Amino acid sequence: AIVYSYAVFIASMTLWGTSLHQHTDARGLACLPIEHNLQSSLFFWLCYFWLLMGIPLVYVTYVLFDVKRRGLLPPGGRTRSVAIFFARITFVFVLMWFPTMVAMYMANRLTGLWFGFVGGCLSHLQPIVSAGVACMKKDIGEAVLNFVTCRWCGEVGRRDTMVDGYDMDEDKDEDENDDAANRRDAPSPTRTVRTDTSGRLNRARRSSVFNSFLSWNNT
């Protein structure tokens, strides 16, 4: 709420014909705050840069080394799959935005137009690449494919196991992998027996009630 309120305040200043920030068009690629004197340079490198990229990068690097040092990433199963999924998304974001920061801020006065243009294109193409990397995860890729081809609507047998495009059967298999690899595709005998017993008990109760009603009616 604070960020959006501040953004609305800054945007509304164009109606007054003034601005609190010195800005540039960054060679036509984007409108970005940029250093223009000693005070703005100190603010940029001591505050703005760390809030924008420094703190997130330091935290992500710390998490990666901590997971590696403690061996927290399991050899298989759903936890490993989810961890690798988010690691790929983070890697794509850093890989495609870091050249943009270098081109538009650090090397803004030392390089030609094409270097900044390539950096700007990388940052603007990042959402497309992130979507493609996300589809590399099996369940997400299948859900997107089913949505695009309208195949999910015709699969009556899979509807009971799909929740918002998520395959509950696949989730169940991955849970069983975490517990015991040899039970990945095997059904749970306890659950089957419990279901069958409950069904027989319900049928017996209905039959007893029906017979009691017939006996009362005959009398």
Does residue 8 have a pLDDT over 70? yes
- What is the enclosing helix (H) or strand (E) of 166? strand 166-167
Give the pLDDT confidence score for residue 163 in this predicted structure: 46
Quote the tokens at residue 34. 């940029």
Give the pLDDT confidence score for residue 128 in this predicted structure: 92
Give the pLDDT confidence score for residue 194 in this predicted structure: 46
| Contact (Cβ atoms closer than 8 angstroms) between residue 116 and residue 26 | yes
| Count of Cβ atoms closer than 10 Å to residue 104 Cβ | 21
176-183 mean pLDDT: 55
Q: Of 15, 22, 25, whose CA–CA distance to 40 is shortest?
A: 22
Higher per-residue confidence, 34 vs 198: 34
Quote the tokens at residue 150. 């309208």
Give percent of the chain above pLDDT 90: 3
**Where are the chain's structural domains?**
37-194
17-21, 87-91, 93-97, range with the lowest pLDDT: 17-21
Does residue 52 have a pLDDT over 80? no
| Count of Cβ atoms closer than 10 Å to residue 103 Cβ | 24
Q: Identity (one letter) of the amino acid at 136? A: M
Torsion angle of alpha carbons 109, 113, 118, 121, nearest 10°?
100
Give the pLDDT confidence score for residue 31 in this predicted structure: 62
Q: Identity (one letter) of the amino acid at 131? A: A
Distances (CA, A) of 81 to 62, 133, 179: 20, 13, 15
In this prediction, residue 110 has a pLDDT band, given cuts at 50, 70 and 90, of low
Give the chain's mean pLDDT.
Answer: 70
36-50, 82-96, 165-179, range with the lowest pLDDT: 165-179
Higher per-residue confidence, 89 vs 191: 89
CA distance 25 to 191: 64
Instruction: Choose the most confident range, by mean pLDDT, from 46-55, 102-111, 168-177.
Output: 46-55
Residue with tokens 């279901």: 195
